[in-house]
Amino acid sequence: MSTVWESIEERERRVRGSRTTSVMARAAEQAPDGKTLSEAFASRPFISRDDLKRIAEQSYERPVLTLYLNFSPDRLVRADRPVFLSVFSSMRHQVLESKKGYLESLPHEHRIGVRDDLTQLQEFLEGYEPEGARALVIVKSGDQLNRVVPLPLRVADHLMIEPDPYLQPLEAIIESQHRLLVLTVAKDQTIVSIHELGYERDVDMIAEDLPRETHEAFREGKTERHREVHVIWHFKASAQQAERIFRDAGCDMVLLVGEDNIVKEFEDYLPKALQQRLVGHLQLPPDVRPNERRAAIGKVLTERRAKEEGDALEGLGFYQGHQRLASGLDMVISAGNLFLMRQLFVRDDLAGEGFICHTHHFLALKPGACPFDNQPLEGAANLLDELIEMARLHGVDVMMVGERKDLLEPYEGIAAVLFNGAPIEQLRTTAVTS
């Protein structure tokens, strides 16, 4: 080239950009936990797999409170206060009673600390507005740990006081959800963000200093070529960084946001692996409001979800014909109790009461005793949530069906694909006699 178009500093920056960088680790360091639940919720409602690992590996000076709270429609009804506050009060009473011996064994300051944490939990919930969230997870231990995670899907209720946080259900939920890499692309800037569990967070920004446009006739063509080369460099660097973050963050889908002509040109720079994971393009104005942006991304994911549900549910007839499908709540519970489920499909509005033994992961529709320790089964106001949680904990692929509910109607709203060779006749017998 007859002319050097960049300074030595720009050249060295571009060379550094070709190397693998730990963007995800840097992003995590820039978002500290809050010292109160309100601060934690305001600063980072998003939680990642790395966050969970860090929380699980940390040692805590005093017991950790873990709350899983479901926001079913009946719990959002307001009289003097929302019903979910009464649910929390009931769980609080039960856990203090069941953990009485453990709490009395703690040092005095830790007992006081647990009571303070429960009070702060109560105060946070009294001011909390679900705003579309289907559930909430909170982990708290004084100033040392405060995380608030709204979820777009239902959970089984838990309130636990233990030396360590109870994260297994949340880990299973996160592992089962799509993680979307969002690239907001312009000619001089690309913002890389991750969308998961209904929330989006920025993790990196790639910027390019484009030569300014000129209207001098003798330089106009040269300047335009100069700008085009800088745009190519920018698209190439953005695509390389997107690939690294996609891999490091464990994403499984990509969405492009920007002007149509720009994103179509940029798409050619993406590696083939990311092109194959592309779920669509969005054209949004630069000043779009966060809620409008979230709704637009949510619409893309809903359309994708409807297709995935249709593809998965249309195959249930095959498994039914080969005696590998349990349908209806009775048979599915029997399959769950025997750990024979490979996949579970549940209408997202299906509900029902029942009974459970948490210790041995045993569910029943009728009262009785656990067959393994002969202890009375506990009542479960949301038996379906308990079934879903246990399925996830045992590695079952769970699909909550919200877009194609019609395809589950022949199966009474719930069906489970069984492992090959599962005794379907034994399940029928068990379901009838249970």
| pLDDT above 80: residue 45 | no
Of 132-136, 200-204, 220-224, 424-428, give the lowest mean pLDDT range.
Answer: 220-224
**What per-residue confidence (pLDDT) applies to 25?**
47
Q: What is the 3-state secondary structure (H, E, C) of 273-292?
A: HHHCCEEEEECCCCCCCHHH
Specify the higher pLDDT residue, 285 or 239.
239
Identify residue 279 by its one-letter amino acid code: V
Q: Which residue would you say has higher pLDDT here, 287 or 78? A: 287
Class of domain 178-305: alpha beta
* Mean pLDDT confidence for 323-342: 93
Q: How many CB atoms lie within 10 A of CB 282?
A: 18
pLDDT digits (tens, 9 = 90+) for 165-199: 999 899 888 887 889 999 999 998 999 999 988 88
Q: In percent, how much of the chain has pLDDT > 90?
A: 60
**C-alpha–C-alpha distance, residues 399 and 344, integer Å:** 6
Q: Which residue has the tokens 């054209």?
A: 283
Domain 23-176: CATH architecture, name and number where available? 2-Layer Sandwich (3.30)
pLDDT band at 368 (very low <50, low <70, confident <90, very high): very high
Q: Average pLDDT for residues 152-167, to the nearest whole number? A: 92
pLDDT at 216 over 60: no
Q: What is the pLDDT of residue 362?
A: 95
- Identify residue 121 by its one-letter amino acid code: L
In the chain, domain spans: 23-176, 178-305, 314-433
Q: How does DSSP classify residue 205? A: E
Asked if residue 329 has pLDDT above 60, the reply is yes
Token pair listed for 375: 């202890």
CATH number of this structure's domain 314-433: 3.30.1330.30
Of the two residues 32 and 12, the one the predictor is more confident about is 12
What is the structure's pLDDT at 162?
95
Q: Mean pLDDT across the stretch 260-276? A: 94
Burial 303-342 (b: 16+ CB within 10 A, else e): ebbeeebeebbeebeebbeeebbbbebbbbbbbbbeebbb
Nearest to 151 by CA among 400, 413, 404, 408: 400
195-213 per-position pLDDT tens digit? 988 888 899 999 887 766 6
Looking at per-residue pLDDT, the higher value among 225 and 125 belongs to 125
**CA gap 71, 82 in Å, rounded:** 10
Q: Report yes or no: 267 and 236 within 8 Å, Cβ to Cβ.
A: no
Residues above pLDDT 70, as percent of the chain:
87
Task: Report the C-alpha gap between 258 and 281 in whole angstroms.
Answer: 8
pLDDT at 16: 61
pLDDT for 32? 52
Phi, psi of 3 (to 5 degrees): -130, 135
For residue 300, give the amino acid letter: V
Query: Residue 2: pLDDT above 50?
Result: no
- Going by the DSSP 8-state scheme, the letter that residue 376 receives in this structure is B
74 by Cβ neighbours in 10 Å (0-12 / 13-18 / 19+) ranks as exposed
What is d(CA 24, CA 245) in angstroms, rounded to the nearest whole number? Answer: 7
Straight-line distance from the first to the last Cα atom of the chain, in angstroms, rounded to the nearest whole number: 81
Residue 254: per-residue pLDDT:
97
Q: Which of 38, 197, 42 is nearest to 126 (CA)?
A: 38
Q: In angstroms, rounded to a whole number, what is the distance separating the alpha carbons of residues 434 and 430?
A: 6
pLDDT at 271 over 90: yes
Q: What does the mean pLDDT of the chain come to? A: 86
How far is Cα 421 from Cα 340, in angstroms, rounded to an integer? Answer: 10
Instruction: Write the pLDDT tens digit of every residue in 52-74.
Output: 889 999 999 999 999 999 988 88
Name which of 195, 172, 408 is nearest 299 in CA terms.
195
Q: DSSP state, 31?
A: S
The identity of residue 317, as a single letter, is: G
Q: Identify the pLDDT of residue 82.
A: 84
Examine the pLDDT at 264 and tell me if it is beyond 50.
Answer: yes
